[in-house]
Amino acid sequence: MPDKDAGTPRVFLVRHGETEWTISGRYTGRSDIPLTKNGEEQVSSSAKVIVGSGKIIDPSRIARFFISPRTRARRTYELLFDTSAQKELEEKVVITEDIREWEYGAYEGLLTAQIRAARKERGLDQDEPWNIWESGCEEGESPAEVAARLDRIISKIREIQSPYMHGEEAVDVVLIGHGHILRAFTKRWLGFELSVKLPMMLEPGAVGVLSYEHHKVDEPAFLLGVNMGGSE
């Protein structure tokens, strides 16, 4: 069966590698926690399989990078692309706060169980446990604030990709960010409010893929399976 969507631009979601706080499950927003040795190995292992000429993420096909300013995200970029590739890609890289992790505010460094227990002690969430997708974070960001900044990036991506929906030019985009924000991005890409229940997992150092159906920019889609042979 022929691939009716061959050549359609893609958006690659790259989560940074493991950190010490990733291991413990602590909420890591603005805290600039470096990758662990294992985290660096996670990213390097992914790079060997999916990054390179003719592979899923082909540097020659990338039109733009949007990268979180946090050290763990920037280091992930350095591990994915060798020095020579970075020099060629330099003008395509945008370091932006719009793809930083969710601002956790008073919940920074805490575990989900700690947050829920503390809120319940104060008389909050008596009927249902705290859910970041619905309630956001005290002294941090609300779902609406997160959605607004992600929508700005989505608008920029669609401006880049919409003229080339049949592959007339290579305009793939790579986002390098964090667990919560990349899942939030996926919801907004598909047109869902952040409160919509859409269980997703994205392991440290892993890659997710978004695209479009029927070569139409107004039909964004989650690319459930990717041919490991590359984009051609």
Place of tokens 């706080």: 21
- Beta-sheet strands, E only, within the chain: 11-15, 62-67, 93-95, 172-177, 207-212, 220-222
Q: Is 102 annotated as a binding residue?
A: yes
Residue 134 DSSP SS3: helix
217 closest CA partner among 173, 130, 152, 158: 158
Residue 211 CA to residue 213 CA, distance in Å, equals 7
CA angle 79, 183, 224 (to 5 degrees): 85
Q: Is 72 annotated as a binding residue?
A: yes
Does 101 participate in catalysis according to the annotation?
Answer: yes
Q: Is 8 annotated as a binding residue?
A: no
Q: Is 97 annotated as a binding residue?
A: no
Q: Is 28 annotated as a binding residue?
A: yes
Tell me the DSSP string of 66-125.
Answer: EE-SSHHHHHHHHHHS-HHHHHHHGGGEEE-GGGSPP--GGGTT--HHHHHHHHHHTT--
| Catalytic option among 18, 101, 108, 141 | 101
| Catalytic option among 16, 18, 108, 178 | 16
Does 41 participate in catalysis according to the annotation?
Answer: no
- Catalytic center residues: 16, 101
Residue ranges for the binding site for substrate? 28-29, 72, 101-104
Annotated binding site: 28-29, 72, 101-104
